[in-house]
Structure 1
Amino acid sequence: MLLFTIAFLIFLFILYKLLLIVPMREVNVIERLGKFRTVLQPGFHFLIPFFDRVAYRHDTREEVLDVPPQSCISKDNTQLEVDGLVYLKVMDGRLASYGIENYRKAAVNLAQTTMRSEIGKLSLSQTFSERDSLNESIVREIDKASDPWGIKVLRYEIKNITPSRHVIHTLEKQMEAERSKRAEITLANAEKAAMINMSEGERQEAINLSEGEKRKRINEAQGTAQEIAIIARAKAEGMLLVSGALSKEGGHAAMNMQLKEQFIKQVGGILENSDVSVVPAEMAKLEGFFEGMEQVTSAVKAPQGGRA
């Protein structure tokens, strides 16, 4: 019974060494008598007991490695403390096993040295504003150096960029000065806009006043023109009436009588308002003037008596 048990255990041990199941997330590197034989993919495989052995197991999933913080010097001689994350994946199990002793440690150290080198090419402000381009540069350099290791660096992400206390204090002063500058610029722009609005208002007021004055003058001119037209029409109608009256019998005599009356009124007014005596130059003609007046009066009365 003891021999049977021993034989069964030996059979199970040989069967364990003969059969190999590789999980989906791994690849296994097989050595035969200490020499590389093959890389087994996920699935069921047979091995030769005591000759074949699984030398290395590699996870084929994407791995995330933490890059410890380290001190860096920027292009403008500013001391920074930078840390990050590197994402990589095993692409070739043989190279990952025999190309380097520990690809994870090598990838982290390579990321640190590359990060120091790339930050040394940038100024302090560029390290904050150009983080994406910095990550791409680090990935490109790491991937180029890690190609013989059978791994693929997918991306690199900087977590924190921490300047020294002195640099932080200087940046705070700079930001305060920048905020003051922006406030002054904002106030200046506000004053400028207020002055522009006031000038626009004054300009519009002047335009409105000039438009009103213009309209007033136009209305006055139109009123004057209408007044002149009305007076002209009235004079024209009066002239027509006078010409009509003159064309009738006795019209000329009536006109002469009217003119003489107006002349007498004008002369009388001049004599009343003047401080000196006004006497006609030719006294002989004054008698003829009054005789003519009597003849006109008798001529006017004669038609009236005949009509009666």
Structure 2
Amino acid sequence: MNAAAIAAIVVAVVVIFVLIRMVRIVPQARAAVIERLGRYTRTQGPGLTLLLPFVDRMRPMIDLREQVVSFPPQPVITSDNLTVGVDSVIYFQVTDPRAASYEIANYIQAVEQLTITTLRNVIGSLNLEQALTSRDSINTQLRGVLDEATGPWGIRVARVEIKAIDPPPSIQDAMEQQMRADRNKRALILTAEGQRESAIKTAEGQKAAQILDAEGQKQAVILAAEADRQARILSAEGERAARYLAAQGQAKAIETTFGAIHAAKPDPALLAYQYLQTLPQIAQGDANKMWIVPSEFSKALEGLSRLTGGDGDGTPNWLAQTGASPSTAGPAEDGSGAGIDTTGWFDSNLTPAAEQPEARDLRASDHDPDSLAARVGISPDDSPLPPGPGFDKPLAPGDR
């Protein structure tokens, strides 16, 4: 191989090497800082770029995507002097490749140390209970402090999360005991409230049942009283109607008897006979111990003797004196009651017999012997009855 060929090969290799150093490709979501003779020239974005050989230099590419960095658990002392292990994670993004390259040597390590320091400052001002229950507040405080501190580095902190806070084992046992006691307390409270609600519901049910029972008994008593009242009213009305009808019947009987007596026109002998028939009825009854024979008993016997005598045609004296015939002296022998009108005797709409004018006149004259004797056609002196209805004449010792 001659010298010219060797020289051509060397030139070709140099050209290829220069071309390789001249042409660079930057991927998407990456950024390249280009230096010329050691000084910052520009920030190259994604795409093809050309560099001057042996003059320009491209620094390592910077990832512009959001990055996640998880730090190992760090011991942190709370305000109540308890050491807890805090495990955190941070989300950040490079916004200025030039600042991230020239303002900080290792921005990932710087963010880690800054996060640990800020975390200790924030949690150190809280006690254990606050640290366990205030994670959102801790995350907000950490993000604010880190974002402000990493701004000059060309880094934006998007989010900081506390993954875990682990208290010491002894504290964990105490917390578990407290949790069990609290749960037992809640269980007892819920049980007591359930028993209370059950007792209240039972009492309300018993109250409602007693109220309904009392109302039922009240309605039953009211209905029984109404039924008894209606029964008594109906019984009283029936008794009143019966008495009224009985009184009307008695009034009609008395009126008929009185009319028959007037029609027959009895003489003293007939009255004496009726008087003798009434005397035995006076002695009837278990309560009667003795009865008195009036002094007019002899006159009654004389009247009876006249009653048994008669005229030549066989007509009794009393019937001859009255001038009545045997066919008109009384009711018909067949008992049919011919000549007596019984229509309307028991009509409740009619005026009672006791209120009729004839009955009033009869009641007014019942106690007057002269009026009674005048109606029957005899004089008071011929009557075989005692002088008055009340036996006004004193009785002699021999008359008893």
TM-score, with length taken from structure 2: 0.62
Point out the structure with the larger helix share. Answer: 1
Question: Unpaired segments of 5 or more residues in structure 1?
Answer: 255-263, 292-302
Shift, 1:135, TM fit:
1.6
Q: Which letter does structure 2 place at the counterpart of 1:95?
A: A
Select which of 133, 136, 140 maps to 1:136. 140
1:53 to 53, 57, 61: 57
The count of residues paired between Structure 1 and Structure 2 equals: 274
Which of 78, 100, 111 is residue 96 of structure 1 equivalent to? 100
Please give the per-residue CA displacement for 1:34-92, whole angstroms capped at 9, x wherever unaligned: 11111111011122222211124201112111212111122333211111111111111
More displaced, 173-182 or 192-201? 192-201
1:294 alignment partner in structure 2: none
Query: Residue 104 of structure 2: SS of its match in structure 1?
Result: coil
User: Which secondary structure does the structure 1 equivalent of 2:105 belong to?
Assistant: coil
Preserved CA contact (<8 Å) 1:30 1:56: no
Distance (whole Å) between structure 1 residues aligned to residue 293 and residue 200 of structure 2: 86
C-alpha distance in 2, partners of 1:206/1:114? 72
Give the whole-Å Cα distance in 1 for the aligned partners of 2:329 and 2:254. Answer: 11
Q: Give the 5 Å matches for 1:168-187.
A: 168-187=172-191
Match of 2:29 among 25, 36, 58: 25
Q: After superposition, what is the alpha-carbon deviation per residue over 1:71-128, rounded to whole angstroms, capped at 9, x for unaligned?
A: 1122333211111111111111111111211110111111111111121233322322
**Residue in 2 aligned with 1:223?**
227
Structure 1 window deviating more from structure 2 (237-246 vs 216-225): it is 237-246
Q: 1:251 to 1:113 in 2, by over 3 A?
A: farther
Question: In the alignment, is the contact (CA less than 8 A) between 1:29 and 1:57 conserved in 2?
Answer: yes
Instruction: Look up the match of 1:77.
Output: 81
In structure 2, C-alpha distance between the alignment counterparts of 1:205 and 1:304, rounded to whole Å: 82
Q: Classify the secondary structure of the residue corresponding to 1:250.
A: helix
How far 1:229 sits from its partner (Å)? 2.6
**Which of 153, 156, 163 is 2:160 aligned to?**
156
Note closer, same or farther for the CA distance 1:187–1:284 as it changes in structure 2 (3 Å cut): farther
Query: What pairs with 1:188-267 in structure 2 (closer than 5 Å)?
Result: 188-242=192-246, 244-245=248-249, 248=252, 250-251=254-255
Q: Deviations over 1:198-234 (max 9, x none)?
A: 3223323321331222122112112112212312331
Which secondary structure does the structure 2 equivalent of 1:180 belong to?
Answer: helix
What is the CA-CA distance between 1:248 and the residue it aligns to?
4.0
Following the alignment from structure 1 to structure 2, what is the Cα–Cα distance between the partners of residues 206 and 228? 32
Q: TM-score, normalised by structure 1?
A: 0.79
Distance 1:3 1:217 in 2: 139
* Equivalence for 1:167: 171
Matched, 1:14 2:32: no
Question: 2 CA distance for matches of 1:171 and 1:141?
Answer: 31
Asked if the contact 1:56–1:97 (Cα under 8 Å) also holds between the matched residues in 2, the reply is no
Identify the match of residue 306 of structure 1 among 325, 328, 331.
331
> In 2, Cα distance between the equivalents of 1:86 and 1:178?
35
**CA–CA separation in structure 1 for the residues paired with 2:203 and 2:127:** 47
Which structure features the higher share of strand residues? 1
Unaligned runs of 5+ in 2: 259-280, 301-327, 334-400
Cα separation, 2, equivalents of 1:121 and 1:67: 21
Q: Percent same amino acid at aligned positions?
A: 34
Instruction: Report if aligned partners of 1:29, 1:93 keep a CA contact under 8 Å in 2.
Output: yes
Rounded Cα–Cα distance in structure 2 between residues aligned with 1:37 and 1:8: 30
Please, which moves more after superposition, 207-216 or 148-157?
207-216
Alpha-carbon distance change, 284 to 4 in structure 1, aligned in 2, over 3 angstroms: farther
Deviation at 1:239, TM superposition (A): 5.0
Instruction: Name the SS for the 2:242 alignment partner.
Output: helix
Alignment partner of 1:82: what SS?
strand
User: Which amino acid in structure 2 is aligned with residue 29 of structure 1?
Assistant: V
> Does 2:131 match 1:106?
no
Q: What is the deviation of 1:10?
A: 1.0
Structure whose alpha-carbon radius of gyration is higher: 2
Moved more, 95-104 or 165-174: 165-174
1:145 to 140, 149, 152: 149
